[in-house]
A and B are shown apart, each in its own frame.
Chain A
Amino acid sequence: MTDLNWLAVTPEIVLLGMACLVALLDLFVTCPQRRPTYYLTLASLAAVAALHLCALDSGASVYAMQQMVVTDAMGHLLSLSATLAVMGSLVYAQVYAGPREMLKGELFTLSMFALLGISIMIIGNNFLSIYLGLELMSLSLYALVALRRDHAQATEAAMKYFVLGALASGFLLYGLSMMYGATGSLDIGEVYKATLAGDLNKQVLAFGLVFIVAGLAFKLGVVPFHMWVPDVYQGAPTAVTLLVAGAPKLAAFAITIRLLVEGLINLATDWQQMLMILAVASMTIGNLAAIAQTNLKRMLAYSGIAQLGFMLLGFVPTVVAGNTVSAGNGYGSALFYVLTYVLTTLGTFGLIMVLSRPGFESEQISDLAGLAKRNPMLAGVMAVFMFSLAGIPPTVGFYAKLAVLQALITTNSSLLLQLSVLAVLLSLVGAFYYLRVVKVMYFDEPAQGAPVVEASGARLLLSINALAVLALGILPSGLMSLCAKAITQSLAG
């Protein structure tokens, strides 16, 4: 119980050390492109990713820091993906950030601290560690959004994000404190035992649960706590949008599992109904609002709301089934969904950055006009991402939707069958605006003749990104099994 078990948290320690080192070293870097800092950051992130990858194989759940954290298969998989997502974001950001006076040491340091927060959320086994991780991530991201100090839109977005984010953190903290009051413990395992034994004040539990779900919904960005998403995505510099839209979703997914599933599974009938409503509302409002958008980043924001709504459906199955098989099936599908969503999101925002030039953000949908003529490769890449988000095979987005749908249907509940029919009909609405992007790229004439200036690193990453979406679409088996295994092991451990 008193074991600190330093070894288990090596990746986080390395990350913390390197983040401090990068912050220090950057003071002495004179090169305007910040090459030394950039490469050092990438190298440290690669090292962290490698550590997670090595630990992923063993799959055993290891408690550390006096049970404040737990490292398990799901945690390693999510941390690995989050690390790669931040790495990818920085590679995409490098060329974009330069002309916008964002290429400062802070970009790298804050990204690494945000990642550290994400990692702590992912491995948190205690209300406190989860909350601290959340705050570390959020504060770093607030600062990142405001990184372009003299840019009115970005500053406005940062204000909105900060005020609403602080409110949501407050919600979550309030909910957690109620849980503490009801169960007498901050430790997730203890909370589980206390709720299992019953004999608790139901009213306090229910209140606490509502606040916790509201806090989680805000962090995931689902209706009705989605108001910040379009504004922040649009207002923030695209590089930061990507940092907000990518890895943090993995952390939000992780704490949803940690808090609701590992801690409060005995209240599942309550929270699953809430999540079901959130999911349906998100898919409806997200998809319908996305149709009306002309700004690509804003459209992707609404599309993300709808996508995460779909992902939440993966948490619904145990409502009726009650056994762990269909629950594990559902959570595994949701994990697969969120991983592939982040992969696709990385590519879409990456493409916006690759297309942008100094003084030109390329964030209107119409800016993509005729891209198939100007640069067939980039148009093809974007088409792959759009078809993946729309869920058309042979892209990975299809299997994500398939996995969630089968999790719903195999519960043999007619309510969930109807829910899955509703979900696919709403994704048909979604197909419309994704197709519109393809239409603009392929069917319209180029509005501007300027050739696309390409950064080799970002372009290479973009190709890899699109190939991953396609390859996982043709051979999704490995990742799917990995997700299912990770969830099963984590829930067992």
Chain B
Amino acid sequence: MQTMSSILSLAIWLPVAFGVLLLAVGRQENAGVARWIALIGAVIGFLVTVPVMIGFDNSTAAMQFVEKAAWIERFNVFYHLGVDGISMWFVPLTAFITIIVVLAGWEVIEDRPHQYYGAFLILSGLTVGVFSALDGLLFYVFFEATLIPMYIIIGVWGGPRRVYAAFKFFLYTLLGSLLMLIALVFLYYKSGGSFQITDWHKLPLAATPQALLFGAFFAAFAVKVPMWPVHTWLPDAHVEAPTGGSIVLAAIMLKLGCYGFLRFVLPIAPDASHEFAPVVITLSLIGVIYIGLVAMVQQDMKKLVAYSSIAHMGFVTLGFFIFNELGISGGIVQMISHGFVSGAMFMSIGVLYDRVHSREIAAYGGVVNTMPKFAAFALLFSMANCGLPGTAGFVGEWMVILGAVKYDFLIGLLSATALIFGAAYTLWMYKRVYFGDVTNDDVRGLSDINAREFLILAVLAAAVLWMGIQPKPFTDAMHVSVTELLKHVAQSKLN
């Protein structure tokens, strides 16, 4: 692996470098050039992650593509990167979604596109950094730094209530992460001066510190996931964000919180995790069922998909805290598949919004008559969103439900109802927007998707189907790491 040892660094810093370049040379006048630079940056950013997918060794739970260098000597902080089966797929996923985002804004973003793309590329690099950081402080720096570009993206290119949404997004997530910072420093102290996450995994901790750490990490990650009842920032942020912002939020940024549970909460505070599992499971089920019902009554398409995202994330946290392999693997698969599916759902809404400038379901009706190609894609993504077998959405949900049934039949039963709600709100929205007679002039005047939109939707459709039919590469990669994690979590850390 020595020859590939700088791949993760490249995956982080190449997009950031392109982003900085765009900010530095971009002008309103040379918007066309800025778009192409952004696309090249995004594609190169994705290409450098290909070796991660190809070269990844499925047979070990050890960290791979490791890089380690001293960073802040005074606090023993290292620039330490690496991926295991849990984090591996998120590196290419992030880079892939960035390409989609750049293409999605191609003709749409006219106001300062260089800054828009610059922010997204920097965000992409930082997010890869979150997934591959093995040093607690490095993780935190990347985790927090992602707030800045997202704040700017929502605030500058967002909808009418963008300022409110941007502040809510930033302050809500900052509150959680500040408590996590205390937890990180506390672990640094407890471990005798180490910020290495792997050292923390081995650190024995008494019950009270574990409970406190659990609380602090839970505050940070539950807000980010987001879990009910701290989810209220998400619908606001989603609705006001531009299409690209919504895609990145749903497909990538929500995963940061879920990932935090696996990397920090479960292995560092296993006893507290077991102790508080009923609470987390309850909150997840409320998320799955109650938020599913909330999604059903939404009038705004973006809000509906935002609530559906929260419900899907409920599945992920549920899977994590039932402590069996099906649950955790299912959760991770759900994270990846939701990346594709929610990205595609927001992209579809973006396609409509760009033409009609309304997100109200009532403003549409009969779109299939004027945009048949687009309606076909949208149908596929809607089916994936409600978890139809053969699509990406099915695999993770099915695994989590199986795991939940193993854990407790009632929990399994309750979580399975989500499939019904999911189908109900997604298909009902589809019916109201696409089927029926053409209701108004806006819809009558619609033109079908152009080549660029076709390309984006086709790529996403391919990903959704590929993952639905052939989930093995995904589950194989995580199998050993998840088994190892479960073994670790089963051992008590109490002295």
Ordered nearest first, which 9 A-B pairs have the shortest CB separation?
Answer: A393-B141, A424-B178, A443-B155, A477-B72, A410-B189, A480-B74, A409-B185, A406-B185, A393-B144
Q: Interface digits, A463-478 against B, CB 8 Å rule (1 contact, 0 not)?
A: 0000000000001110
A216 within 8 A of B: no
B291 within 8 A of A: no
Whether B74 lies near A425 (C-beta < 8 A) is: no
Whether A405 lies near B185 (C-beta < 8 A) is: yes
Whether A484 lies near B74 (C-beta < 8 A) is: yes
The residues of B that contact A439 with a CB separation of less than 8 Å are 155, 163, 166-167
Whether A402 lies near B185 (C-beta < 8 A) is: yes
A residues 365-381 near B (Cβ < 8 Å) are: 372-373, 376, 380
Q: Interface digits, A409-433 against B, CB 8 Å rule (1 contact, 0 not)?
A: 1101000010011001101100110
B residues 125-167 near A (Cβ < 8 Å) are: 137, 140-141, 144-145, 147-148, 151-152, 155-156, 162-163, 166-167
Known: A393-B144, A393-B145, A402-B185. A480 touches B155 (CB 8 A): no
Known: A380-B23, A398-B144. A435 touches B151 (CB 8 A): yes
Q: Interface digits, B418-457 against A, CB 8 Å rule (1 contact, 0 not)?
A: 0000000000000000000000000000000000000000
Complex alpha-carbon distance, A46 and B103, angstroms: 51
**Partner pick for A425 among B115, B137, B178, CB 8 A cutoff:** B178
B494 within 8 A of A: no
| Interface of A toward B, CB cutoff 8 Å | 372-373, 376, 380, 387, 392-394, 398-399, 402-403, 405-406, 409-410, 412, 417, 420-421, 424-425, 427-428, 431-432, 435, 438-439, 442-443, 475-477, 480-481, 484
Known: A393-B145, A394-B141, A477-B73. A409 touches B186 (CB 8 A): yes
The residues of A that contact B72 with a CB separation of less than 8 Å are 399, 476-477, 480
Q: Interface digits, B182-217 against A, CB 8 Å rule (1 contact, 0 not)?
A: 100110110000000000000000000000000000
How far does the Cβ of A39 sit from chain B's closest Cβ, in whole Å?
A: 31
| Interface of B toward A, CB cutoff 8 Å | 23, 70-75, 112, 115, 137, 140-141, 144-145, 147-148, 151-152, 155-156, 162-163, 166-167, 170-171, 174-175, 178-179, 181-182, 185-186, 188-189
How far does the Cβ of B167 sit from chain A's closest Cβ, in whole Å?
A: 6
Between-chain CB contacts (< 8 Å), 15 pairs: A376-B115, A394-B145, A405-B185, A406-B189, A410-B188, A410-B189, A412-B189, A424-B179, A427-B178, A431-B174, A442-B155, A443-B155, A443-B162, A477-B70, A481-B73
Complex alpha-carbon distance, A406 and B195, angstroms: 12
Whether B185 lies near A432 (C-beta < 8 A) is: no
The residues of B that contact A484 with a CB separation of less than 8 Å are 74
Known: A392-B147, A442-B155. A477 touches B185 (CB 8 A): no
The residues of A that contact B75 with a CB separation of less than 8 Å are 402-403, 406, 480
Known: A410-B189, A417-B186, A442-B152. A392 touches B144 (CB 8 A): yes
The residues of B that contact A392 with a CB separation of less than 8 Å are 144-145, 147-148, 174
In terms of DSSP, what is the predominant structure of the interface of chain A? Answer: helix
**Partner pick for A402 among B147, B170, B181, CB 8 A cutoff:** B181
Instruction: Please indicate which of the listed interface residues A405, A435, A480 has the most CB atoms of chain B within 10 Å of its own CB.
Output: A435
Whether B156 lies near A405 (C-beta < 8 A) is: no
Complex alpha-carbon distance, A392 and B145, angstroms: 7
Known: A394-B141, A427-B178; 5 extra A-B contacts, CB below 8 A, are A405-B182, A424-B181, A431-B171, A432-B167, A475-B71
How far does the Cβ of B355 sit from chain A's closest Cβ, in whole Å?
A: 26
**Partner pick for A443 among B23, B74, B163, CB 8 A cutoff:** B163
How far does the Cβ of A61 sit from chain B's closest Cβ, in whole Å?
A: 22
The residues of B that contact A476 with a CB separation of less than 8 Å are 72
Complex alpha-carbon distance, A427 and B179, angstroms: 11
The residues of B that contact A480 with a CB separation of less than 8 Å are 72, 74-75
Closest to B189 in A: A410
How far does the Cβ of B19 sit from chain A's closest Cβ, in whole Å?
A: 12
Complex alpha-carbon distance, A367 and B27, angstroms: 23
How far does the Cβ of B110 sit from chain A's closest Cβ, in whole Å?
A: 14
How far does the Cβ of A294 sit from chain B's closest Cβ, in whole Å?
A: 17
Whether A477 lies near B141 (C-beta < 8 A) is: no
Whether B155 lies near A387 (C-beta < 8 A) is: no
How far does the Cβ of B271 sit from chain A's closest Cβ, in whole Å?
A: 20
How far does the Cβ of A439 sit from chain B's closest Cβ, in whole Å?
A: 6
How far does the Cβ of A471 sit from chain B's closest Cβ, in whole Å?
A: 13
The residues of B that contact A421 with a CB separation of less than 8 Å are 179, 182
Known: A402-B181, A405-B185. A435 touches B170 (CB 8 A): yes
The residues of B that contact A481 with a CB separation of less than 8 Å are 73-74
The residues of B that contact A399 with a CB separation of less than 8 Å are 72
The residues of A that contact B166 with a CB separation of less than 8 Å are 439, 443
The residues of A that contact B112 with a CB separation of less than 8 Å are 372-373
The residues of B that contact A428 with a CB separation of less than 8 Å are 171, 174-175, 178
How far does the Cβ of B72 sit from chain A's closest Cβ, in whole Å?
A: 4
The residues of B that contact A376 with a CB separation of less than 8 Å are 23, 115
Whether A420 lies near B182 (C-beta < 8 A) is: yes
Complex alpha-carbon distance, A36 and B72, angstroms: 43
The residues of A that contact B148 with a CB separation of less than 8 Å are 387, 392
The residues of B that contact A402 with a CB separation of less than 8 Å are 75, 137, 181, 185
How far does the Cβ of A488 sit from chain B's closest Cβ, in whole Å?
A: 11
How far does the Cβ of A48 sit from chain B's closest Cβ, in whole Å?
A: 28
Closest to B216 in A: A421
The residues of B that contact A438 with a CB separation of less than 8 Å are 151-152
